[in-house]
Amino acid sequence: MTYQCFDLHIEQHIAHLRFNRPDSLNTMQPVFFRELVQILQTLQREAPARALVISSTGKHFTAGMALDVFAGGNLLDDATATGRANMALVLQDMHQSFNLLEQLRLPVITAIQGGCIGGGVDLICASDIRLASADAFFCIQEINIGMTADLGTLQRLPKLIPEGIVHEMAYTGRRLPAQRALAVGLVNEVFATQDEMLAAALQMAKEIAEKPPVAIWGSKQAIHYARDHSTHDALQQMGWLQSGIWQSSNLMEAFMAKQQNRPTQYADLAPLSAFADASYTLK
């Protein structure tokens, strides 16, 4: 399928989603959000891949939100109480795209070059693994244009890096350069060039794709649950999770593949079936 804001390529269980509007600095506008939701829902529902790499084109990963979206005043009406009341619902709708990214059944690797600004920080915070090129920088741009960041950065970033660094970025609008982002733990590794970074991201995705998808999904579930709950609760959840996804045949496959010096062969995650789409004749 052809998209206006993205290129999507799936090969050998690896999905590669690339922002494709470098002349517009890959800004985020209504079409961006609509297409992103559609792509993520398809990946979640059909399970055609075992890992997702998100990269970009041009000088910057993304310049964030396209502010001209709000120029007309129809989307966010602050002139009346009823208009302001609708803002929360508009934001909930926009949150959906990054929530879907976080909730995907497959790991998400973001490969970031140049500026990752505003909404770009919201997006990469919802991914599992972040790689950066040496020229990358991160900026909570919203404060520089007179507003509070509202699409997830202030909720997710403090769980990724020290809170004091988040305060600094959120209050000053300063750029966090790649090497400092590495030092504080926002990114896993920094590469000299964008090409080296993308090659590393795809190699990492390949390694993930060779592991049993159900165990990868279980690991992602456990990590996210532990992040938001006490250790006691997370251990209890781990027992329930493992009892649901345990598969002895995967262990045997790992042993046999190693013994026979061959690639592992694991079953893909099953496509999801929506109850609302079930075939049913009214009686």
| Average pLDDT of the chain, as a whole number | 95
Domain count, the chain: 2
Per-residue pLDDT for 4 more than 80? yes
- Residues 160, 103 contacting (CB under 8 angstroms): no
Average pLDDT over residues 24-39: 96
pLDDT at position 264 is 95
**End of a domain among 183, 209, 235?**
209
Cβ-based neighbours of 220, under 8 Å, separated by 6 or more: 105, 107, 128
pLDDT at position 14 is 98
Residues 205-245 have pLDDT tens digits of 999 999 999 999 999 999 999 999 999 999 999 999 999 99
Q: What CATH number is associated with residue 60?
A: 3.90.226.10
- Taking the C-alpha atoms of residue 245 and residue 241, their distance in angstroms, rounded to an integer, is 6
What is Dmax (Cα atoms) for the chain?
Answer: 70
Name residue 149's amino acid: A
Per-residue pLDDT for 72 more than 60? no
Statement to judge: residues 115 and 228 lie in one domain: no
Statement to judge: residues 58 and 117 lie in one domain: yes
Q: Which domain covers residue 236, as residue numbers?
A: 213-277
Strand partners, 138: 116, 176
Residue 282 lies in a domain: no
Burial classification of residue 184, based on how many CB atoms lie within 10 Å of its CB (0-12 exposed, 13-18 middle, 19 or more buried): middle
Statement to judge: residues 124 and 182 lie in one domain: yes
The H or E element that residue 111 is part of is: strand 108-112
Per-residue pLDDT for 100 more than 60? yes
Strand partners, 18: 7, 55
Residue 197 lies in a domain: yes
Residues 148-186 have pLDDT tens digits of 999 999 999 999 999 999 999 999 999 999 999 999 999
